[in-house]
Structure 1
């Protein structure tokens, strides 16, 4: 029987992590309040530079509070946006990860349905506007 593959590369086990990778793994667990390192980060750990770049950017944008900053968007709003983009992009891994996050932040199943309805609505209306090549006529303020 073939072994189950989790990715196209062998994931770095947390017990194998040393140096910068071990430090980033510890930061991920502390920042995200997890007791394990998700597959995504274990795959990125095969290239420590990429792991550091992606984690640093994600932490700054998705977890500004962990860096002593106050984001203008609350954590639930940031995760809803991440979920909406993930659904639009069709990333099963990301959909599951961000659905878990929004549920952990208090979004109930009914509200999750509303999020998916908004995603579906605007994927459709965006396709219509693109298909007809409609010129914009409503603009945001420039301030």
Structure 2
């Protein structure tokens, strides 16, 4: 995903009060002093920025899944979808949460294998085994 952005990032100093409020919450929640470019381009639509941030904050909050597992899942989906920005962003976040290089490589091996077997299953359409179906 190289090249120029579709819309230029909106820096904090140029942001509306509504956008600054979201930027402030992002920095406070993440305990950082900067806003990454993903949020800066979403700022062209303040409602989209706010909604996306609130949803992400809720989904990535502590829950049944460990925070590192959530970041690794984000990497897996981002790799499958080919989102370079999200791969870099969530790999950095996962590393900050303790992910090792061995874990990253194993994760990507699983992602590659899952994509391969998914494509084979989608193409061949084997019937789902009754043992795999949820029990009522």
TM-score between the two structures when normalised by the length of structure 1: 0.87
Q: Give the Cα–Cα distance (whole angstroms) in 2 for the partners of residues 141 and 86 of structure 1.
A: 32
The offset of 1:6, in angstroms, is: 4.5
Instruction: State the match for 1:45 in structure 2.
Output: 43
Q: What residue is the counterpart of 1:139 in the other structure? A: 133
- Quick check: 1:84 aligned with 2:82? no
Q: Verify: 1:123 aligned to 2:115, yes or no.
A: yes
SS at match of 1:93: helix
Q: TM-score normalised to the size of structure 2?
A: 0.91
Per mean C-alpha deviation after superposition, the further-off stretch among 7-16 and 84-93 is: 7-16
1:74 aligns with 2:66: yes
Aligned length: 133
In the alignment, what sits opposite 2:57?
59
Aligned partners of 2:60 and 2:100: how far apart in 1?
21
Unaligned runs of 5+ in 1: 66-70
> Distance between the aligned counterparts of 1:5 and 1:130, measured in 2?
34
Higher relative contact order structure (alpha carbons within 8 Å, sequence separation ≥ 6): 2
Task: Give the superposition deviation at 1:11.
Answer: 1.0
Following TM superposition, the consecutive aligned residue runs of length 4 or more in structure 1 with deviations greater than 4 angstroms are: none
